[in-house]
């Protein structure tokens, strides 16, 4: 149980284009989903928290117009990196918290984004 998928697992795009990453909870309903970014050899950095049907809450320093998050259903959240630049190249990981009082998060396998 508690499986989270991400698609795509890796993507290469050209500078200036947009990329959409999907995060799905496969066997549970996710009240809350989180989006993280991780640069090589560095710790996880929380970008935003999204609750189903609500606008995402972004962490300080994260541009909401650049990283568009949509949590349309209890099993799907998407992150769109708009007008990507090489400095956006990173490992993007989503996680999901099940409905109810659970505090446990389950991570997706991550998406490696390379912007050329």
Partner 1 sequence: QKEVEQNSGPLSVPEGAIASLNCTYSDRVSQSFFWYRQYSGKSPELIMSIYSNGDKEDGRFTAQLNKASQYVSLLIRDSQPSDSATYLCAITEGGSYIPTFGRGTSLIVHP
The reply on whether position 60 binds partner 1 by CB under 8 A is no
Rounded Cα distance, 21 and 40, in Å:
19
Binding residue for partner 1 (CB under 8 A) from 58, 79, 108, 113?
A: 108
Percentages helix, strand, coil for the chain (3-state, rounded to 5) are: 5, 55, 45
The reply on whether position 109 binds partner 1 by CB under 8 A is yes
Smallest distance, Å, CB 83 to partner 1? 26
List phi, psi (to 5°) of 22: -105, 145
Q: Which residues bind partner 1 (CB under 8 A)?
A: 32, 34, 43-44, 46, 49, 93, 95, 97, 103-110
């Amino acid at each position: 149980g508690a499986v989270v998928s991400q698609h795509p697992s890796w993507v290469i795009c050209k500078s200036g284009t947009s990329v959409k990453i999907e995060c799905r909870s496969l066997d549970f309903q996710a009240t809350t989903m989180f989006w993280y970014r991780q640069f090589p050899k560095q710790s996880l950095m929380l970008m935003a928290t999204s609750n189903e049907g609500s606008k995402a809450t972004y962490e300080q320093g994260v541009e909401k117009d650049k990283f568009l998050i949509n949590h349309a259903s209890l099993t799907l959240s998407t992150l769109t990196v708009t007008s990507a630049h090489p400095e956006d190249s990173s490992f993007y990981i989503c996680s999901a918290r099940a409905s109810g009082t659970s505090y446990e998060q389950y991570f997706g396998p991550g998406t490696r984004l390379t912007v050329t």
